[in-house]
């Protein structure tokens, strides 16, 4: 049993096709995620500040709901009524089945508490229990 002879006649070559495939996949990924991040920030919102923010990674089924200073509810740069928001959230919750769905609430610092509570009520009506609030961490910690 001489195994070395079977490898002697073969030439090793560098395969470029898999490398090109990976590069195109990465390019597509960054273009799509960059476009989604731009859509999220298209609504002009001045986020409130905090000294105790917790960083959280975005998940696949996170729904970003923007509440503007004048009380408008926006998702992906489109206005939603409270009823339409309830229907959309319920549809997403029902289609997600076992995958957890979270709602990320980006409320303007000057938005009324009542407007934010309408979004929370819509989440509760859709049986969504994971709601997160977005704020800007000032980095200043209180000294005890």
C-alpha torsion angle, residues 24, 35, 82, 52 (rounded to 10):
100
Give the lowest-confidence range in 40-54, 70-84, 89-103. Answer: 40-54
Annotate 91-127 with DSSP letters as a single string: HHHHHHTTS--EEEEEE-TTS-HHHHHHHHHHHHHTT
Mean pLDDT for the chain overall: 81
Sole residue written with tokens 């990976």: 22
pLDDT at residue 38 is higher than 60: no
Same domain, 22 and 50: no
Per-residue pLDDT at 143? 44
Q: Six-digit token pair at 29?
A: 């990924």
Rounded CA-CA distance 94/64 in Å is 18
Total number of domains in the chain: 2
CA-wise closest residue to 128 among 115, 141, 99, 114:
99
Same domain, 28 and 88: no
96: domain CATH number?
A: 3.30.420.270
Same domain, 70 and 103: yes
Crossing angle for the helix pair 113-125 and 82-96, nearest 10 degrees?
40
The answer as to whether 9 is a domain residue is no
Same domain, 78 and 29: no
pLDDT at residue 142 is higher than 80: no
Same domain, 81 and 29: no
Question: Tens of pLDDT along 119-136?
Answer: 999 999 998 888 889 888
Question: Tens of pLDDT along 6-28?
Answer: 555 566 777 888 888 888 888 87
Boundaries of domain holding 39: 15-43
Which one is predicted more confidently, 100 or 85? Answer: 85
Helix (H, G, I), strand (E, B) or coil at 89: helix
Same domain, 63 and 87: yes
Same domain, 66 and 129: yes
pTM of the predicted protein model: 0.65
144 pLDDT band, cuts 50/70/90, is very low
Same domain, 54 and 89: yes
Same domain, 24 and 54: no
């Amino acid at each position: 049993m001489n195994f070395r002879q079977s490898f002697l006649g073969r030439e090793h070559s560098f395969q470029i096709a898999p490398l090109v495939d990976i590069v195109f996949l990465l390019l597509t990924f960054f273009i799509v995620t960059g476009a989604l991040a731009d859509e999220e920030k298209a609504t002009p919102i001045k986020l409130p500040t905090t000294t105790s923010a917790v960083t959280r990674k975005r998940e696949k089924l996170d729904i970003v709901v923007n509440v503007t200073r004048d009380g408008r509810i926006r998702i992906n740069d489109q206005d939603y009524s409270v009823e339409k928001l309830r229907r959309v959230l319920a549809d997403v919750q029902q289609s997600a089945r076992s995958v957890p769905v979270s709602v990320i609430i980006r409320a303007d610092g000057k938005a009324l508490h009542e407007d934010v509570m309408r979004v929370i009520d819509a989440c509760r009506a859709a049986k969504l229990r994971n709601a997160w609030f977005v704020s800007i961490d000032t980095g200043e910690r209180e000294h005890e």
